[in-house]
């Protein structure tokens, strides 16, 4: 199965970073793109430390999201 997860870092009960860390511990975890409306370099660094393909700051261009999704889909090749 090919795909990717796109999630905001600010979710309800769990942050996008926590979700990414949890999914990353599972076999066959799909690539992750995280988004945020907050300019927080530490959060961005943590996302990449966890293996995120991209960290997009809102507002972002649709083309940036599409490029990131393409990278995700190619990550398993």
At 23, which CATH number? 3.40.50.2300
Asked if residue 21 lies in contact with residue 50, where contact means CB atoms within 8 angstroms, the answer is: yes
67, pLDDT greater than 90? yes
* 3-class DSSP state of 53: coil
6, pLDDT greater than 90? yes
pLDDT range class, residue 21, cuts 50, 70, 90: confident
Range of the domain at 25: 5-75
pLDDT range class, residue 12, cuts 50, 70, 90: confident
* 3-class DSSP state of 23: helix
pTM above 0.85, yes or no: no
Q: How many domains does the chain have?
A: 1
pLDDT range class, residue 26, cuts 50, 70, 90: low
């Amino acid at each position: 199965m090919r795909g990717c997860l796109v999630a905001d870092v600010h979710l309800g009960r769990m942050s996008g970073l926590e979700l990414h860390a949890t999914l990353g511990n599972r076999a066959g975890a799909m690539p992750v793109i995280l988004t945020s409306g907050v300019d927080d370099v530490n959060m961005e660094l943590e996302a990449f430390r966890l293996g995120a393909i991209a960290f997009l700051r809102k507002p972002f261009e649709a083309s940036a999201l599409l490029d990131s999704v393409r990278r995700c889909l190619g990550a398993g090749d």
